[in-house]
Homo-oligomer: A and B are copies of this chain.
Amino acid sequence: MGIVVQKYGGSSVANAEKFRRVARRIAWKRQQGHDVVVVVSAPGDTTDDLLDKAAELTKNPSAREMDVLLSTGEQISIALLAMALQEIGCPTVSLTGPQAGFQTDDHHRAAKIQHIDTKRVRQELAQGHVVIVAGFQGLDGNGDITTLGRGGSDASAIALAAYLEADACQIFTDVDGVYTSDPRLVPTAARLDEISYDEILELAAAGAQVMQLRSVEFAKQYGVEFEVLSSLAPLPSEGGIEKGTKVVAALSPNNNRVVSGVAVDSKVARITILSLPDRPGVAAKVFGALGKAKVNVDMIVQSAGVVAGGVPTADIAFTCARDDLDLALDVCQEVLTALSGTQLIYDIDVAKVSIVGSGVASNYGVAAKMFEALAERGVNIELITGSEIKISCLVRASQAVEAVRAVHDKFELGKTATGAEVK
């Protein structure tokens, strides 16, 4: 009993049949005695259709007007979902983001939620209504419509759960939780019962297609624990069991797993600057210039280069997103010229394989076990970096899948849904 916030994405409401299915799922939850608040995204391709319409008129649409345009998508969803619920006899009311009290800053297309005035939502719940709220949108201080940017509906649901002090927050999507690895690459990948904010954040940063980082950061900030579930799973009213992955602040005390997942990121590039003068401040120059250009640098390794004419030199290698490669090369070329480096090389035939888990840093032997797994399959490691809960290895792109499977097997992640334990 108590308030449950559910969120359904656009693919869950792509057509009339899916609206009906979502409605049945919501009605069941209400029949269990809960006050149900539902956050919903725009149906299926609606947002893309609206973007197309705008693109026909202008290459540089004003962000304010884009928000007026795009926010209609969720408004269509809330009305249709309310109708689908009313059709099966479930008292329901729909509210736009502004009506539901979402107040944001005025950063159009990427607004941040500043406050939610939950008065109207609570009133409607008190009247026995299921409350359907348009995700992704709010109102700024000028009374203008704002949108939260991609993945914003997840943030809407999590924020609403926080402000309502909800008992549960369920994020329904087209996968039934967070997996130990990408099941398309690793057939033995298993669903995790729970994962911590930090683990999921690192997994996403490592290239796993999980949730929007911003939503998880938001959940962490507000201390909202939520569950990722599949809207495609059999309905509880038809014998299905609600089973997903809980995203929590800290794993249960009885969960002593070390590694939670293995991720691979193939959209990376490596740049190496050869024979830079080996003196203090050189690395700062390189990465300062890259930072200024807003290139996000990931793995960094500096190593001694050749001794040229009696002067010691250093090589600096780093990885960045492949999309940033051209920009990064331009920046590096300037630095190279300024510092009289000899050569700039890059490689896009690489991939980053990472293990993520709360126990990575505190358990001896985790890194060694990963390297061993890779060595056993003949995968060469080109760069290594680590954090408190992550170890990443750069490998040949052609060996990426083999590498992920090797590591996944080695840590026996497919064995149980609770993750692997280091023996």
When distances are taken between beta carbons in the complex, the residues of chain B under 8 Å from A96 are 68, 145
User: Among the listed B16, B56, B64, B144, which residue makes an inter-chain contact with A57, where contact means beta carbons less than 8 Å apart?
Assistant: B16
Question: A164 interface residue, CB < 8 Å from B?
Answer: no
User: Among the listed B68, B79, B86, B144, which residue makes an inter-chain contact with A75, where contact means beta carbons less than 8 Å apart?
Assistant: B68
A residues 87-104 with Cβ under 8 Å of B? 87, 93-94, 96, 99
Bound complex: CA of A72 vs CA of B77, how far in Å? 11
* Number of copies of this chain that the complex holds: 2
Question: A61 interface residue, CB < 8 Å from B?
Answer: yes
When distances are taken between beta carbons in the complex, the residues of chain B under 8 Å from A120 are 143
Q: Is the CB of A57 within 8 A of B143?
A: no
Nearest residue, chain B, Cβ from A144: B99
A residues 14-69 with Cβ under 8 Å of B? 16, 19-20, 50, 53-54, 56-58, 61-62, 64-66, 68-69
Nearest residue, chain B, Cβ from A66: B79
- Known interface pairs A65-B94, A94-B65, A99-B143; A54-B72 also in contact (CB < 8 Å): no
Interface residues on A, range: 35 or more
Bound complex: CA of A76 vs CA of B65, how far in Å? 10
Question: A84 interface residue, CB < 8 Å from B?
Answer: yes
Bound complex: CA of A314 vs CA of B48, how far in Å? 68
When distances are taken between beta carbons in the complex, the residues of chain B under 8 Å from A93 are 64
Q: Is the CB of A69 within 8 A of B58?
A: no
Bound complex: CA of A62 vs CA of B65, how far in Å? 29
Q: Is the CB of B72 within 8 A of A84?
A: no
Question: A80 interface residue, CB < 8 Å from B?
Answer: yes
Q: Is the CB of A57 within 8 A of B87?
A: yes
When distances are taken between beta carbons in the complex, the residues of chain B under 8 Å from A50 are 76
Q: How far, in Å, is A193 (CB) from chain B's closest CB?
A: 35
User: Among the listed B56, B72, B82, B143, which residue makes an inter-chain contact with A16, where contact means beta carbons less than 8 Å apart?
Assistant: B56
Q: Is the CB of A68 within 8 A of B78?
A: yes
User: Among the listed B71, B83, B99, which residue makes an inter-chain contact with A58, where contact means beta carbons less than 8 Å apart?
Assistant: B83
Q: How far, in Å, is A285 (CB) from chain B's closest CB?
A: 42
Nearest residue, chain B, Cβ from A16: B56
When distances are taken between beta carbons in the complex, the residues of chain B under 8 Å from A65 are 79, 82-83, 86, 94
When distances are taken between beta carbons in the complex, the residues of chain B under 8 Å from A71 are 75
Bound complex: CA of A66 vs CA of B86, how far in Å? 12
Nearest residue, chain B, Cβ from A50: B76
A residues 336-374 with Cβ under 8 Å of B? none
User: Among the listed B64, B66, B76, B144, which residue makes an inter-chain contact with A72, where contact means beta carbons less than 8 Å apart?
Assistant: B76
- A64, A66, A69, A99, most chain B CB atoms within 10 A: A69
A residues 107-151 with Cβ under 8 Å of B? 120, 143-145
Q: Is the CB of A75 within 8 A of B75?
A: yes
When distances are taken between beta carbons in the complex, the residues of chain B under 8 Å from A75 are 68-69, 71-72, 75
Q: Is the CB of B58 within 8 A of A86?
A: yes
When distances are taken between beta carbons in the complex, the residues of chain B under 8 Å from A16 are 53, 56-57
When distances are taken between beta carbons in the complex, the residues of chain B under 8 Å from A69 are 75-76, 79-80, 83
Nearest residue, chain B, Cβ from A84: B57
Nearest residue, chain B, Cβ from A15: B56
* Residues of chain A having any CB pair with chain B under 8 Å: 16, 19-20, 50, 53-54, 56-58, 61-62, 64-66, 68-69, 71-72, 75-76, 78-80, 82-84, 86-87, 93-94, 96, 99, 120, 143-145
Give me the 5 closest cross-chain CB pairs, A-B, nearest first: A69-B79, A16-B56, A72-B72, A68-B79, A58-B87
